[in-house]
């Protein structure tokens, strides 16, 4: 076995369990194993090109896992599946459904302007509906910091969506 294969295999054996738990904790869900696989594919490419410094593997892996999980969230937001009740008899989405999707898309765009952690928080609030303690673990911040981040996000959302407020149903 080549030195690169031994190195990457050893890193995978040493860290794959921790990374999988991390990906699941930040909301990877059913896609966690796929995300983990993508992390190690990128790791092998980067190691092959000499871009991973010895001793810096674990921070690189965690950052890659976090970024790929966020990318998965973004992709799943773009490929949102609509239930049958959201369609008219002819199979086209209702205006209300399209309007809700447009607002949700705008909300994620506002969160992205605030930063990646805000996208993660918004996803956790809208999709998984977990508590602040779980959110804090997912973004690696204290609960107090997460509360402040949520307040900042809501302020940004309120400011950005103020023109839409009258159109929203109660």
CB 69 within 8 A of CB 27: yes
Strand partners, 93: 87
- The verdict on 39 and 54 lying in the same domain is yes
Residue range of the domain that includes 65: 3-78
Whether 113 has a pLDDT exceeding 70, the answer reads yes
Confidence label for 43 from pLDDT (cuts 50, 70 and 90): very high
Q: How do residues 135-146 score in pLDDT, each as one tens digit?
A: 888 888 998 998
- The verdict on 57 and 129 lying in the same domain is no
Helix axes 32-48, 3-25, angle to 10 degrees: 150
CB 7 within 8 A of CB 47: yes
pTM reported for the whole predicted model: 0.47
- What is the domain-level CATH number for residue 126? 1.10.10
Q: Which residue has the higher pLDDT, 1 or 73?
A: 73
Comparing CA positions, the residue from 95, 71, 93 lying closest to residue 84 is 93
- The verdict on 66 and 27 lying in the same domain is yes
- The verdict on 59 and 132 lying in the same domain is no
């Amino acid at each position: 076995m080549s030195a690169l294969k031994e190195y990457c295999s050893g890193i995978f054996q040493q860290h794959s369990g921790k990374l999988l738990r991390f990906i699941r904790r930040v909301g990877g869900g059913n896609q966690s194993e796929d995300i983990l696989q993508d992390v190690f594919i990128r790791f092998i490419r980067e190691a092959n090109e000499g871009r991973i410094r010895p001793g810096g593997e674990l921070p690189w892996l965690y950052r890659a896992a976090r970024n790929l999980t966020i990318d998965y969230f973004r992709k799943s937001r773009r490929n949102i599946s609509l239930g049958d009740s959201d369609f008219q008899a002819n199979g086209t989405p209702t205006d209300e459904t399209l309007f809700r999707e447009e607002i949700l898309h705008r909300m994620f765009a506002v969160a992205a302007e605030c930063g990646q952690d805000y996208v993660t928080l918004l996803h956790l609030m809208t999709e998984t509906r977990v508590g602040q303690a779980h959110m804090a673990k997912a973004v690696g911040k204290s609960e107090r910091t997460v509360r402040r981040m949520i307040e900042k996000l809501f302020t940004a959302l309120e400011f950005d969506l103020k023109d839409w407020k009258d159109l929203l149903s109660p």
